[in-house]
Chain A
């Protein structure tokens, strides 16, 4: 499983970062991006899905 933040859609709500800081990081402006290549380590799949389901801007996808 892999997560990805669409930088065009992200508005810096920081919901993903508070739910799963293992999978998402934010820059100084509060914009989120996936950690590394976005691959979700085993055991964090549920957190990844939660991050998707809580993004107000529908900016996160899993593949």
Chain B
């Protein structure tokens, strides 16, 4: 990643890849909420940043002034890589109404609570195997040895791809989500180098030749308005499931374990009261929501007193909305039995994360299995924990001492 100049003032020059933001964005957002509920930066060709729950919700609900054509802020201008709305590169996340609803409706049944429940046994066994492999070790990495393997293997299973491709998947995701500080030339080359597309085309060919009961075949056989999906639609959607379903949930599992490693009271309460887990999972999702989305301004207009211009980026930080004291009492405290919790970790409005039921199941099962096997664990060194940079925030290394 190319080096970027340090941020002078987050209200006027923020950068979501700045080391201070990466290490701890919450004080930055708290400060901005008071000073300017919508911050601006000239970086990335111009980006806006609402930090209140109200502001984030207003953008999420406004599909007229904002387009989802590009949802990852980078130095590469969307005109250079993103096919036009309403379809976009990876439907339905990059789609706008009215096409959005069609592409989304197609996928929804595959991610219903009932459909997702079908993967719970696989997920539990996978977690159990990972914990088996850690047995006998005093120090393990809760991110590298555990969290990072779970969502990728579940999605690979759902898509019907070879399990040994899990590592390849993680590299692709890193290229797309974390290498955003590259020059436009470097980033374009990475896309046009075609490694990701070539891999996906190969898998799609394989499924066309040998259809089977999995999500890839489901997509290839699905019909929209009486027509099979265009190959680039299938490829885009598979890419979306890969990107959206892996880094994000890995981050949520890691952040939850990172919290529990530091809070003996919460750890012991959950170990003794496993029925509290679903409520605790919602609180971890609120407090450590991993995903910040983005929009492009679709037309010039004034938003909360700021002059937005067509083509400007806008970061949509659901994690900041979840920490807004105007929307949550004790917003900065993790309350694992929080009864009222309208968190926006999975977004708001028509783009609500389609995999939310899958993510919740994986997070709950991953924590249940870990707590069953390792109820006592602490951070080896808080300073050794590293965090991802970019729009998906989660711990990438969490060395913990077991017992």
Residues on A close to B: CB < 8 A? 11-15, 17-18, 26, 28-30, 50, 53-58
CB pair A56–B339 under 8 Å, yes or no, is no
User: How near does chain B come to A44, taking the closest CB pair, in angstroms?
Assistant: 15
Instruction: Give 25 pairs: A residue, B residue, CB < 8 Å, sorted on A.
Output: A11-B349, A11-B350, A12-B108, A12-B352, A13-B346, A14-B113, A14-B356, A14-B357, A15-B282, A17-B113, A18-B278, A28-B112, A29-B105, A29-B112, A30-B108, A30-B111, A30-B112, A30-B113, A53-B339, A54-B340, A54-B342, A56-B342, A56-B344, A56-B348, A58-B342
CB-based nearest B residue for A55: B342
CB pair B108–A29 under 8 Å, yes or no, is yes
CB pair A13–B352 under 8 Å, yes or no, is yes
Which residues on B sit within 8 Å (CB–CB) of A28? Answer: 108-109, 112
Give complex CA distance A15, B341 in Å. Answer: 10
> Could you tell me how many residues of chain B have their Cβ less than 8 Å away from some Cβ of chain A?
21
Give complex CA distance A50, B270 in Å. Answer: 21
Sorted nearest first, the 3 A-B pairs with minimum C-beta distance are A53-B340, A11-B352, A29-B108
Which residues on A sit within 8 Å (CB–CB) of B282? Answer: 15, 54
Give complex CA distance A30, B348 in Å. Answer: 15
Which residues on A sit within 8 Å (CB–CB) of B112? Answer: 26, 28-30
CB-based nearest B residue for A10: B352
Give complex CA distance A57, B346 in Å. Answer: 11
User: How near does chain A come to B33, taking the closest CB pair, in angstroms?
Assistant: 19
Which residues on A sit within 8 Å (CB–CB) of B342? Answer: 53-56, 58
User: How near does chain B come to A33, taking the closest CB pair, in angstroms?
Assistant: 14
**Given that A29-B105, A29-B108 are known contacts, is A54 also in contact with B278, CB under 8 Å in the complex?**
no
User: How near does chain B come to A24, taking the closest CB pair, in angstroms?
Assistant: 12
Give complex CA distance A54, B341 in Å. Answer: 5
Q: Does B343 contact A (CB under 8 A)?
A: yes
Which residues on A sit within 8 Å (CB–CB) of B105? Answer: 29
User: How near does chain A come to B219, taking the closest CB pair, in angstroms?
Assistant: 17
User: How near does chain A come to B295, taking the closest CB pair, in angstroms?
Assistant: 17
CB-based nearest B residue for A12: B352
- Contact check: which of A29, A54, A57 meets B348 at CB < 8 Å? A57
Most B CB atoms within 10 A — which of A11, A15, A56? A56
User: How near does chain A come to B343, taking the closest CB pair, in angstroms?
Assistant: 7
Most A CB atoms within 10 A — which of B109, B343, B349, B352? B352
Which residues on B sit within 8 Å (CB–CB) of A29? Answer: 105, 108-109, 112
Give complex CA distance A14, B113 in Å. Answer: 8
User: How near does chain B come to A27, taking the closest CB pair, in angstroms?
Assistant: 9
Give complex CA distance A40, B356 in Å. Answer: 27
Which residues on B sit within 8 Å (CB–CB) of A54? Answer: 282, 340-342
Most A CB atoms within 10 A — which of B282, B343, B350, B357? B357
Give complex CA distance A14, B343 in Å. Answer: 13
Which residues on B sit within 8 Å (CB–CB) of A15? Answer: 282
Which residues on A sit within 8 Å (CB–CB) of B340? Answer: 50, 53-54
**Given that A11-B349, A12-B352 are known contacts, is A50 also in contact with B113, CB under 8 Å in the complex?**
no
CB-based nearest B residue for A50: B339
Which residues on B sit within 8 Å (CB–CB) of A11? Answer: 348-350, 352
Q: Report B302-341 CB contacts with A as 1/0, cut-off 8 Å.
A: 0000000000000000000000000000000000000111
- Contact check: which of B113, B344, B349, B352 meets A26 at CB < 8 Å? B113
Give complex CA distance A17, B356 in Å. Answer: 13
User: How near does chain A come to B114, taking the closest CB pair, in angstroms?
Assistant: 9
User: How near does chain B come to A7, taking the closest CB pair, in angstroms?
Assistant: 13
Which residues on A sit within 8 Å (CB–CB) of B350? Answer: 11
Give complex CA distance A26, B278 in Å. Answer: 19
Give complex CA distance A52, B346 in Å. Answer: 18
Give complex CA distance A53, B282 in Å. Answer: 13
User: How near does chain A come to B119, taking the closest CB pair, in angstroms?
Assistant: 16
Which residues on B sit within 8 Å (CB–CB) of A53? Answer: 339-342
Given contacts A15-B282, A53-B342, A54-B341, list 12 more A-B pairs with CB under 8 A: A11-B348, A11-B350, A12-B352, A14-B113, A18-B113, A30-B108, A30-B112, A30-B357, A50-B339, A50-B340, A54-B342, A56-B348
Give complex CA distance A15, B344 in Å. Answer: 12
Give complex CA distance A55, B343 in Å. Answer: 8
User: How near does chain A come to B9, taking the closest CB pair, in angstroms?
Assistant: 32
